[in-house]
């Protein structure tokens, strides 16, 4: 075990929770750095506690480290006290395992989970002494790569990355590492390496594309600037979810992570087609993992980590066609192994009595339902095919089972929304309170707590609502005030947050390459940890936009024409433009679309599978 | 029911694992081990675990320990050690798993090996010459002044390759009994002689009972 340097010991003695910066957790991987060919630093641009909750990193960490001659390590954004110590003492950002600085690695990869983490990426590169812009780096610097959902519109961060990965990393990242290994052995320069990497499905090399603009600021075209580069990059996927074993070892954090439990991914994609939801579109097509593999690997995972809670994760776990079988298999060993099950994403409409029983054998926790909108009309607009009758049925089952708290998720600022819809949010919560007291089997002597959590809707790329303008802050504030005036019960608690972060999220979600300068300027003016309310400074951002001469309203408060070239047109996630237009027009008419396991809506994502997603002749649902 | 003591080293990176986190780590490792440890009998059963005189964050030790209980007869404790070690965090090395002889409450003193940079030697000389060395000790009931010289009249250091080193024997009582942390001396040397505490290493080498026996 290497000695910690005196400098590092000094820094650690001055900061809160130093265990976040020392590594060594059970399950972490150590190799002899002299004996490995490729070293990758997997960076998460938020704190240790947030990053260690992220399943994607656990999947890729294990996949890469299964290669004997590759070593994947972890780095996180240090909290402000540690960042300050590192700057003062001249400690470059390092990986937790080897304590080697990021610039010593072959590949430095970042996850783009959320638009407001962008400044943290620059802060982490800067802390490592790595030049921020790809144009300023040659083969002497690590290859700086990105992955994650935000790559579906990679453009605002395009200037900073050598390589961006569109889609799922299981195969793509291994192909990248293999190419880097060859490159090192052959002594390729950076250009040659990038040209080889561009051949890997899903890989996007931003510097290989030129963007031209119209006079009014809209994009004219995005075109490859050399031969052999695809005009559109197509997302990489894992066709068969049983083709690789989910992680059976987690690095188990000692300083508590937010999601500190075992989790197994049961399916990928979503059949629902909610029109506001980016994940529901970009993770298509829908693919299930078999109950046997889920149960077997989950058991090994719980055994290896010692976790006593197992969570079945996915966008919509209850849509797994064999969920009952999964639960039966898990329950055959869970109790004896002291493991309790939790299903974080349940839907009201197929929430059943037996499912509640199978998941609450050990402990009862709160229940959450995502209703998303307060009236049936608006739920039809957004294609959240949930009816009040279904909410009523789901709540009644839960109340009879002893649940006393219900959390309802809503959005505000949705397309076509009126004050009637806002009042509907309060009315829905009130009806749930009334349901509880009308239910004779509710928990004896206990009251009910209904929490309404209202998020500000942000139009996202690759969704039918990408064409819509975002609500302005004043409109959202007025709606928030009106909602509060509609709530009359002490049993109802309303949570909402300031809309300033949503504005920026909207700008960067739909932004183009010109925003790279704004992100860099804001960072130079001290912006980082924008996801943390205490560090977010809206005025600093507005100042950065002014300094760069860029109007943020152009990106989020403007409707996008149905025939307009978007900054993400050359990044193909599978769902076609024609489908998005069709769904948008149906939304305006408040017409719903069936979930795709019942009827194919022709979104186009099945081309990634090379055939239909479902066997519609069998009795699937 | 037998009380089993797991004795371990806590060095390097592991020095930064807090007691709270260490409890969780041990809980998980014991759970996954499947060893027949005793679970508390309640609505929410958990493994009975008790750590003896836990260290301050950043200090290292050769003699940390925690107690568990078992209802098993003649448990194979060598096998316990082998089962538990592979899943321990880096820097935690189990040295011994044995039936507990004493109770944690019998611990009276701890011995620490302190290593400092060579530049600290004049400061230690001054400490030895000073008639008094008063430090402020934080207790649960607020702050109180304490004369270090009562417990540590002289520091007999030797020159080592890393600088200077000496052994420190300090009261290490549990509960209401007096407990002095070596950081009191390091704090005094920092405040009065500008010796940076992060350049000093604190390694606990032994715990002793009232009768002077090594705690086990």
- Is residue A348 very low, low, confident or very high in pLDDT (cuts 50, 70, 90)? low
Q: Which of A12, A308, A338 sits opposite B16 (nearest CB)?
A: A12
- With beta carbons less than 8 A apart as the criterion, state whether A257 and A52 touch: yes
Q: Is it the case that residue A409 has pLDDT exceeding 70? A: yes
Distance between CA atoms of A508 and A490, rounded to whole angstroms?
A: 38
| Burial class, B93, CB count within 10 angstroms (exposed 0-12 / middle 13-18 / buried 19+) | middle
Domains B2-100 and B105-209 share a fold: yes
Q: Is it the case that residue A364 has pLDDT exceeding 60? A: no
pLDDT in tens, A1-28: 667 999 999 999 999 999 999 999 999 9
Average confidence (pLDDT) over B166-177: 88
Q: Is it the case that residue B43 has pLDDT exceeding 80? A: no
Least confident of A398-402, A567-571, B126-130: A398-402
> Given this model, what pLDDT does residue B31 score?
87
> Given this model, what pLDDT does residue B173 score?
84
Helix locations, A364-467, DSSP H:
376-381, 388-400, 419-438
Q: Which of B25, B91, B198 sits opposite A9 (nearest CB)?
A: B198
Q: Is it the case that residue A354 has pLDDT exceeding 80? A: no
Optimal mutation site among A306, A309, A310, A337, interface B, most CBs of chain B within 10 A: A306
Q: Is A497 on the interface with B (CB under 8 A)?
A: no
**Residue range(s) of every CATH 3.40.50.280 domain in chain A:** 6-234
Binary contact (B91, A30; C-beta < 8 A): no
- CATH class of the domain comprising A364-513: alpha beta
Q: Is it the case that residue A207 has pLDDT exceeding 70? A: yes
What is the separation of C-alpha A74 from the centre of its chain, rounded to a whole number of angstroms?
18
Cβ-Cβ contacts under 8 Å, B194 against chain A: none
Residues 290-319 of A with CB under 8 A from B: 302-308
> Given this model, what pLDDT does residue A2 score?
66
> Given this model, what pLDDT does residue A212 score?
97
Homologous superfamily (CATH) of A6-234 is Cobalamin-binding domain (3.40.50.280)
Q: How far apart are the CA of B37 and the nearest CA of chain A, in angstroms?
A: 14
- Is residue B175 very low, low, confident or very high in pLDDT (cuts 50, 70, 90)? confident
Q: Label the pairing between strands A309-313 and A262-265.
A: parallel
Q: How far apart are the CA of A345 and the nearest CA of chain B, in angstroms?
A: 25
What is the separation of C-alpha B202 from the centre of its chain, rounded to a whole number of angstroms?
10
Which whole-number Å values give the CA distances from B54 to A63, B2, B60, in the listed order?
37, 22, 11
Tokens (6 digits) for B132: 């008094």
Stronger pLDDT, A46 or A369, i.e. the higher one: A46
pLDDT in tens, A464-479: 999 999 999 999 999 9
| Burial class, B41, CB count within 10 angstroms (exposed 0-12 / middle 13-18 / buried 19+) | exposed
Binary contact (B16, A307; C-beta < 8 A): no
> Given this model, what pLDDT does residue A362 score?
41
pLDDT in tens, A484-521: 999 999 999 999 987 899 999 999 999 999 999 999 99
Cβ-Cβ contacts under 8 Å between A and B: the total is 76
Instruction: Count CB neighbours of A8 within 10 A.
Output: 20
> Given this model, what pLDDT does residue A352 score?
66
Distance between CA atoms of A77 and A117, rounded to whole angstroms?
A: 10
Let me know if domain A261-355+591-621 sits in CATH 3.40.50.2300.
no
Q: What is the pTM of this model?
A: 0.93
Q: How far apart are the CA of B201 and the nearest CA of chain A, in angstroms?
A: 10
- Is residue A385 very low, low, confident or very high in pLDDT (cuts 50, 70, 90)? confident
Q: Is it the case that residue A615 has pLDDT exceeding 80? A: yes
Binary contact (A24, B32; C-beta < 8 A): no
Q: Return the CATH architecture of domain B105-209.
A: 2-Layer Sandwich (3.30)
All structural domains of chain B with their residue ranges: 2-100, 105-209
Contact partners, residue A223, CB within 8 Å, separation at least 6:
A209, A210, A212, A231
Q: Is it the case that residue A367 has pLDDT exceeding 90? A: no
B2-100: CATH topology: Alpha-Beta Plaits (3.30.70)
Which whole-number Å values give the CA distances from A362 to A412, A449, B43, B45, in the listed order?
36, 22, 10, 11
Average confidence (pLDDT) over A182-194: 96
Q: ipTM exceeding 0.95? A: no
> Given this model, what pLDDT does residue B188 score?
95
Stronger pLDDT, A534 or A459, i.e. the higher one: A459
Cβ-Cβ contacts under 8 Å, A23 against chain B: 13, 90
Share of chain A above pLDDT 90, in %: 83
Q: How many CA atoms lie within 13 A of A337 on its CB side?
A: 25
Q: How far apart are the CA of B80 and the nearest CA of chain A, in angstroms?
A: 16
Q: Is A344 on the interface with B (CB under 8 A)?
A: no
Optimal mutation site among A3, A6, A11, A26, interface B, most CBs of chain B within 10 A: A26
Which stretch of DSSP H or E encloses residue A406?
strand A405-412
């Amino acid at each position: 075990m290497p000695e910690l340097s005196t400098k590092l010991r000094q820094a650690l003695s001055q900061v809160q929770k130093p265990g976040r910066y020392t590594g060594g957790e059970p399950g972490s991987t150590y190799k002899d750095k002299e004996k490995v060919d490729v070293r990758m630093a997997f960076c998460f641009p938020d704190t240790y506690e947030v990053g260690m909750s992220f399943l994607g990193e656990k999947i890729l960490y294990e996949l890469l480290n299964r290669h004997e001659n590759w070593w994947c390590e972890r780095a996180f954004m240090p909290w402000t006290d540690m960042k300050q110590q590192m700057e003062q003492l001249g400690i470059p950002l390092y990986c937790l395992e080897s304590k080697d600085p990021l610039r010593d690695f072959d590949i430095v990869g970042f996850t783009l989970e959320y638009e407001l983490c962008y400044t943290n990426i620059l802060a982490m590169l800067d802390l490592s002494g790595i030049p921020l812009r790809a144009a300023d780096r040659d083969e002497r610097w690590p290859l700086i790569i990105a992955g994650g959902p935000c790559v579906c519109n990679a453009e605002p961060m395009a200037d900073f990355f050598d390589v961006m990965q569109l889609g799922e990393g299981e195969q793509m990242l291994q192909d990248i590492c293999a190419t880097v290994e060859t490159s090192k052995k052959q002594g390729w320069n950076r250009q040659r390496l990038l040209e080889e990497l561009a051949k890997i499905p899903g890989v996007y090399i931003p510097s290989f594309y030129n963007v031209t603009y119209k006079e009014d600021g809209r994009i004219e075209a995005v075109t490859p600037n050399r031969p052999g580069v695809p005009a559109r990059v197509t997302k990489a996927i894992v066709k068969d979810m049983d083709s690789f074993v989910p992680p059976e070892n987690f690095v188990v954090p000692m300083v508590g992570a937010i999601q500190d439990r075992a989790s197994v991914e049961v399916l990928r994609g979503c059949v629902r087609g909610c029109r506001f939801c980016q994940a529901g579109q970009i993770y298509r097509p829908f693919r299930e993992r078999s109950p046997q593999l889920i149960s077997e690997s989950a058991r090994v995972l719980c055994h290896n980590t010692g976790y006593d809670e197992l969570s079945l994760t996915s966008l919509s776990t209850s849509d797994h066609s064999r969920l009952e079988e999964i639960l039966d298999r898990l329950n055959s060993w869970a109790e004896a192994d002291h493991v309790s099950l939790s299903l974080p994403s349940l839907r009201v409409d197929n929430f059943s009595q037996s499912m509640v029983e199978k998941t609450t054998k050990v402990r009862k926790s709160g229940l959450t339902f995502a209703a998303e909108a307060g009236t049936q009309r608006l739920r039809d607009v957004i294609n959240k095919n949930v009816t009040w009758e279904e909410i009523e049925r789901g709540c009644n089952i839960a109340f009879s089972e002893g649940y006393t708290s219900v959390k309802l998720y809503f959005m505000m600022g949705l397309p076509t929304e009126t004050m009637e819809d806002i009042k509907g949010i309060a009315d829905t919560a009130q009806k749930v309170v009334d349901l509880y007291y009308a239910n004779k089997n509710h928990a004896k002597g206990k009251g009910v707590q209904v929490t309404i959590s209202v998020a500000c809707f942000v139009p996202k790329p690759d969704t039918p609502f990408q064409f819509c303008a975002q609500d302005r802050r004043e409109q959202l504030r007025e709606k928030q005030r009106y909602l509060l005036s509609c709530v009359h019960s002490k049993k109802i608690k309303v949570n909402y947050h300031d809309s300033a972060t949503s504005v920026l999220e909207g700008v960067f979600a739909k932004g183009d390459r010109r925003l790279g300068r704004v992100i860099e300027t804001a960072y130079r003016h001290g912006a980082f940890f924008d996801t943390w309310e205490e560090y977010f400074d809206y005025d600093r951002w507005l100042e950065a936009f002014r300094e760069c001469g860029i109007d943020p309203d152009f990106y989020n408060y403007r409707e996008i024409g149905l025939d307009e070239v978007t900054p993400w047109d050359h990044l193909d996630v599978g769902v076609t433009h024609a489908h998005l237009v069709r769904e948008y027009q149906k939304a305006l008419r408040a017409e719903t679309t069936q979930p795709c396991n019942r009827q194919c809506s022709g979104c186009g994502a099945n081309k990634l599978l090379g055939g239909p997603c479902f066997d519609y002749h069998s009795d699937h649902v | 029911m037998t009380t089993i003591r797991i004795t371990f080293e806590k060095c390097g990176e592991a020095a930064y694992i807090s007691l709270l986190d260490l409890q969780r780590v041990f809980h998980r490792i014991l759970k996954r081990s499947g060893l027949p440890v005793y679970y508390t009998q309640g609505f929410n059963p958990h493994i009975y675990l008790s750590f003896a005189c836990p260290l301050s964050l950043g200090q290292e030790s050769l003699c940390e320990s925690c107690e568990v209980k078992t209802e098993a007869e003649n448990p194979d404790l060598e096998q316990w050690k082998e089962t538990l070690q592979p899943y321990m965090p880096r820097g935690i090395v189990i040295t011994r798993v044995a039936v507990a002889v004493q109770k944690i409450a019998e611990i009276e003193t701890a011995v620490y090996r302190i290593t400092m940079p060579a530049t600290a030697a004049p400061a230690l000389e001054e400490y030895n010459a000073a008639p008094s060395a008063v430090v402020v000790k934080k207790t649960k009931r607020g702050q109180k002044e304490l004369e270090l010289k009562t417990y540590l009249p002289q520091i007999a250091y030797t020159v080592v390759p890393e600088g200077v080193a000496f052994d420190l024997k300090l009261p290490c009582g549990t509960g209401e009994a007096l407990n002095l942390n070596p950081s009191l001396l390091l704090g005094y040397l920092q405040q009065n002689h500008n010796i940076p505490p992060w350049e000093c290493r604190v390694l606990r080498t032994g715990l002793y009972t009232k009768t002077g026996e090594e705690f086990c």
